[in-house]
Amino acid sequence: MKILFLISLLSFSIYASAQKRNFVLIDDIYSNWTKTYTDEKTACKTFFYSDIMDDQIIERVKDLFLEDSVFIKYNLKQDTTGAGRIIFDAKERDLIIQQLQHLNAQAWQDQIFKRSKLVPFNKIDSIQRSVNEKKLDPLVRLCYLVHIFSHPIFVRNNTICLFYFGETDFATKEGEFWIYKKEGSDWVKYSPLYRWVE
């Protein structure tokens, strides 16, 4: 039984890694940080990111897909015709739930980007507290922003993706789990699944 579990986990990991290479939004997070935080005014030296995400967020999104009824999400254009909706069937919901359950089993490795450093999820709060205690200039404190993002979850031949992105700094914590749709070569935000701010 253990061998079967390990084989399925390995094949899932290989599948997820192959999908990750096709998903440019992870690279976009780093590109946006480079543009915003490495200018002369801020000049941050390190991109901080977490290895995993909060289990509670995963559970809340998983609960959305556990409902027996057909799961429908509308796009942001307030479509009244119903043509712009996504309906996940039972098989897709099961696949999404299975992948959500494995998200934190595939922790990000250190230095996935140039000038990046992994911060273990359970250390983020203590690091932010120590930054606050140092009474650093607010612009310097912004350099200790920690990015939290999931591995992408793909369905429908990699044309629909579920992806989480969040940030935490000395003042706020926030995150969003979104459905993205592939339009041509671009991934477009389609509909939010879960948002939070603290």
Look at the pTM and tell me if it is higher than 0.85. Answer: no
Whole-number Å distance between alpha carbons of 175 and 184: 27
How sure is the predictor about 20, in pLDDT bands with cuts at 50, 70 and 90? very low
Task: Copy the structure tokens of residue 13.
Answer: 């990991």
pLDDT at 37 over 90: no
* 151 CB-near residues (< 8 Å, 6+ apart): 16, 19, 20, 103, 106
Cα–Cα distance, 126 to 115 (Å, whole number): 22
Q: Which residue has the higher pLDDT, 1 or 54?
A: 54
41-70 in b/e form (b: 16+ CB < 10 A) is: eeebeebbbbbbbbeebbeebbebbeeeee
Query: pLDDT at position 138, please?
Result: 78
Tokens for 137?
């200039």
Yes or no: say if 117 and 110 are a contact pair by the CB < 8 Å rule.
yes
Q: Are 20 and 152 in contact (CB under 8 A)?
A: yes
pLDDT tens profile 86-126: 888 889 999 999 999 999 999 999 999 999 999 999 999 99
pLDDT in tens, 125-181: 998 888 888 878 878 888 899 999 999 999 999 999 999 999 998 888 999 999 999
Higher pLDDT, 150 or 39: 150
Min mean pLDDT across 40-44, 51-55, 141-145, 166-170 is at 40-44
pLDDT the model gives residue 17: 41
Alpha-carbon distance 106 to 39, whole Å?
Answer: 33
Is the pLDDT confidence value at 69 over 80?
A: no
